[in-house]
Amino acid sequence: MRTEALKNEPLPLSDAVIGMRYLVTVVSAQGVIRQRMLDMGLVPGARLVVVRFAPLGDPIEIRINRFFMSLRKEEARQVEVLPLGPCPRREQATGTGFMRRFRGNC
């Protein structure tokens, strides 16, 4: 995993891609936003998956373990992450083709 991570350059969380896993490396936000991020588990060393962007393109929804949280791109810009590759497929519920189209990517 480490070598895989090292292959990639760190990037701001705001530029992350849906369905990919990331390792949090730096939290540079300050004040309330920083505290809130830390409280919610967005700390260096945490692994997260980008779940989706809101219909209007901002905010972002991410998942840390079983915890889903959202943050604005402007806030996500202050978090640096390393890509860890695509999210391993989770067990998908069976659904019709119609329902499948509504599914997120991970």
Q: Does 103 bind another protein (CB under 8 A)?
A: yes
Q: Does 56 bind another protein (CB under 8 A)?
A: yes
Question: Contact at 8 Å (CB) between 60 and 70?
Answer: yes
Structure tokens given for 39? 């409280």
Q: Between residues 4 and 35, which has the closer beta carbon with respect to another protein?
A: 35
Q: Does 86 bind another protein (CB under 8 A)?
A: no
Q: Does 77 bind another protein (CB under 8 A)?
A: no
What is the C-alpha separation between 23 and 48, in angstroms, rounded?
A: 6
Instruction: Name residues contacting another protein, limited to 14-33 (CB under 8 A).
Output: 27, 31-33
| CB burial of residue 35 (10 Å; 0-12, 13-18, 19+) | exposed
Among residues 1, 15, 67, 86, which is the contact residue for another protein, using CB under 8 A?
67
Cis peptide, bond prior to residue 12, ω within 30 of zero: no
Task: Give me the residues that bind another protein (CB under 8 A), please.
Answer: 27, 31-46, 52-59, 61, 64-72, 75, 90-93, 102-104
